[in-house]
Structure 1
Amino acid sequence: MNKLPCMLAVAAVLVTAGCATRKPEQGRHGYVSKVYAVGEKPAKLPACLAALTPQQLAEGRFVDLKYGPMRLRKYATAYAPRAIALTEHDKVAFSPIQCDGSDFPRIQRVMED
């Protein structure tokens, strides 16, 4: 009996199981491509970010992000609290990736490369 197909199947299961271990609270990482001034809004905002209160807008700013591998590069706009110092090209963790009900994409922290 040929064991190679069985071994490949087991290896495939183990590899994909490792992909599922990322916890949602860790978020996704991306790179800052633009930091907007406090009070400045990007031209295109998702509905959840456009609905932020004046107080939330005063306590933070918007940033444009790029994330994903080069061939599948994606772009997003996220909210960043003022307490997090950001510059272009910073690697950041953010979550969620897009609007999720009343939850909106926000920067969680700056990551080290």
Structure 2
Amino acid sequence: RQFRSLLAETLRARTNRLVVEGGDFEMAGKTQLGGRLLEMGYDVQKRAVVVRFDAILREGAGDASFKTRRFESVVNVMEPKAKYVGPAINQAANDVARQVADWVQGA
């Protein structure tokens, strides 16, 4: 849920679009973004934080077009300790949110 809020705020800031989270309104916009957060955490083998998000963008009504794309950010971490992992997760999540917003803006 936190990533959804981060993504919504990033979309608002970078695309100048009205962004509605969840089921706040009864009507849907002509552009809808959905997706699944596949990974968000520390990967022991990579010694890095990984954030991975699969996005689905629907544009138009009726015969809408759909686009899909996977976004990922990997941030290396010195040690698997909270003081390093926490900021790395923040950095990676913000990076993925920016990637998604730029993709939506260019669509």
Fold equivalence (TM over 0.5): no
Give the TM-score taking structure 1 as reference length: 0.28
Give the TM-score taking structure 2 as reference length: 0.29
Q: Which structure is larger by alpha-carbon Rg, 1 or 2?
A: 1
